[in-house]
Amino acid sequence: MKTYEQDLAWQSLADKALSGQCLTAEEGLAVLEADNDEVLPLLQAAFRVRKHFYGKKVKLNMIINAKSGLCPEDCGYCSQSIVSTAPVKKYTLLDKDTLLAGAREAMARKAGTYCIVAAGKGPTERELDQVVSAVKEIRDTMPLKICACLGILKDEQAERLAEAGVHRYNHNLNTSKANYPSITSTHTYDQRVETVEKVKLNGMSPCSGVIIGMGETNVEIVEMALALRELDADSIPINFLNAIPGTPLEHMGRTPAMKALKVLALFRFMCPSKEIRVAGGREVNLRTLQPLSLYAANSLFVGDYLTTAGQEITTDHQIIEDLGFEIELNAL
Annotation says 22 is catalytic: no
With CB under 6 A as the contact rule, which of the stretches 39-47, 70-78, 239-247, 262-270 interacts with ligand SF4? 70-78
Rg (CA), the chain: 19
User: Considering beta carbons, is residue 110 or 171 the nearer one to ligand SF4?
Assistant: 171
**Residues of 54-70 as b/e, b for ≥16 C-beta within 10 angstroms?**
bebbbbbbbbbbbbbbe
With CB under 6 A as the contact rule, which of the stretches 17-25, 35-43, 69-77, 294-302 interacts with ligand SF4? 69-77
Q: How many residues bind ligand SF4 (CB under 6 A)?
A: 9
Q: Are 228 and 271 in contact (CB under 8 A)?
A: yes
User: Considering beta carbons, is residue 54 or 180 the nearer one to ligand SF4?
Assistant: 180
- CA separation for the pair 289, 282 (Å, rounded): 9
| Interface with ligand SF4, residue 73, by CB under 6 A | yes
Helix (H) or strand (E) holding 243: none
| Interface with ligand SF4, residue 80, by CB under 6 A | yes
With CB under 6 A as the contact rule, which of the stretches 37-45, 68-76, 102-110, 310-318 interacts with ligand SF4? 68-76
Annotation says 277 is catalytic: yes
At residue 33, φ and ψ (nearest 5 deg) are -100, 10
Q: Is 324 exposed, middle or buried (0-12, 13-18, 19+ CB in 10 A)?
A: exposed
Compute CA 81 distance to the chain's CA centroid, rounded to the nearest angstrom: 19
- CA separation for the pair 326, 272 (Å, rounded): 20
- CA separation for the pair 305, 86 (Å, rounded): 15
**Shortest gap between Cβ of 242 and ligand SF4 (angstroms)?**
13
Helix axis angle, 39-54 relative to 257-270, nearest 10°?
40
Annotation says 229 is catalytic: no
User: Considering beta carbons, is residue 99 or 265 the nearer one to ligand SF4?
Assistant: 99
Of 34, 71, 132, 257, the one binding ligand SF4 by CB under 6 A: 71
Of 14, 42, 78, 296, the one binding ligand SF4 by CB under 6 A: 78
| Interface with ligand SF4, residue 300, by CB under 6 A | no
| Interface with ligand SF4, residue 275, by CB under 6 A | no
Beta bridge partners of 61: 113, 301
Selecting among 48, 50, 71, 160, the annotated active-site residue is 71
**Shortest gap between Cβ of 43 and ligand SF4 (angstroms)?**
30
**Shortest gap between Cβ of 172 and ligand SF4 (angstroms)?**
8
Q: Are 172 and 209 in contact (CB under 8 A)?
A: yes
| Interface with ligand SF4, residue 296, by CB under 6 A | no
With CB under 6 A as the contact rule, which of the stretches 13-21, 26-34, 41-49, 71-79 interacts with ligand SF4? 71-79
Q: Which 149-178 residues touch ligand SF4, going by CB under 6 A?
A: 151
Residues marked active site are found at 71, 75, 78, 115, 147, 207, 277
What are the residues binding ligand SF4 (CB under 6 A)?
71, 73, 75, 78, 80-81, 119, 121, 151
